[in-house]
Amino acid sequence: MEAKFLASAFSFLSIFLAIYAQSLDTLVPNYDNVEHRMKFYDIRGPLVLSCKTESTDPLIWKKNHTNVMNVDVLKGRFKLINDEKKFIIDRAEAHDDGLYSCEVNGESRDINAVARVVVRVPSNTAVVEGEKMSVTCSVLGTAPQLSWTFGNVTLKNNTDRFVLKAENNIENAILTMDNVTLDDRGEYKCIGRNAANDYGNSTVASDFTTVRVKGKSIYRFINRFCYPK
């Protein structure tokens, strides 16, 4: 109990000191999370970075330590509003995340741009009783973490007949199940989260697929009736 209280107190103190230090700063980014220097954005929505300063000189903006003017993937996609000290990408993509910085008069501040997670699964998944089911959760966002639920149960890797596999270096992106039964019918939900959820108030991303299981005997009857040899 005491250890938990001390951990909470230390976390609160860290946040307070970060906010206090920012109040004394002469170059202040528009962080969504001050402690971790993060700015969150929606994929295909605007990414707006700004740094408040009393200097009248234009800010120098960089991504991954390179002037944004020289970053190929940004060319023609952003605008600078010098009077408002803003860097804006009107339609930001997942690959626009990363480390940005604003600089003026020898001072520099980092901003970690984090793309909120988006997940998609097929709306329906049909499988025949006794066969294998496989569902892929497509995901975009910064360093996403995926999990699956069936009803109120969180599916763990290698639990019973469930196996969760990685795809494109994303853990748990593929849900597979051997020897499907009629009891396996229902909604399977893919849930995605990242730093925007852990350090901000972003809504956790989720999407579900409705699994429909065809009885093996009925399936065989339909095949024989509709597709006679």
Yes or no: say if 35 and 14 are a contact pair by the CB < 8 Å rule. Answer: yes
Q: What is the pLDDT of residue 215?
A: 86
Q: If pLDDT is split at 50, 70 and 90, which confidence band does 76 have? A: very high
The Cα–Cα gap between 169 and 172 comes to 9
Burial of 91 (0-12, 13-18, 19+ CB in 10 A): exposed
Structural domains of the chain in order of their starting residue, each with its CATH number: 26-114 (2.60.40.10), 118-221 (2.60.40.10)
The Cα–Cα gap between 164 and 148 comes to 9
Question: Which residues have C-beta within 8 Å of that of residue 152, sequence separation ≥ 6?
Answer: none
The SS3 call for residue 50 is: strand
Q: What is the pLDDT of residue 157?
A: 74
Q: What is the pLDDT of residue 156?
A: 83
The Cα–Cα gap between 114 and 111 comes to 9
Q: If pLDDT is split at 50, 70 and 90, which confidence band does 162 have? A: confident
The Cα–Cα gap between 14 and 122 comes to 43
pLDDT over 70 (residue 227)? no
Phi, psi of 21 (to 5 degrees): -65, -40
Q: What is the mean pLDDT of residues 22-35?
A: 82
Q: If pLDDT is split at 50, 70 and 90, which confidence band does 26 have? A: confident
The SS3 call for residue 210 is: strand
The Cα–Cα gap between 135 and 141 comes to 20
pLDDT over 90 (residue 59)? yes
Residue 185 CB coordination number (10 Å): 14
Q: What is the pLDDT of residue 200?
A: 96
Summarised one tens digit per residue, pLDDT across range 189-208 is 999 999 999 999 999 999 99
Structure tokens that stand for 119 in this block: 């997940």
Q: What is the pLDDT of residue 13?
A: 47
Q: Which residues pair with 212 in a beta bridge?
A: 126
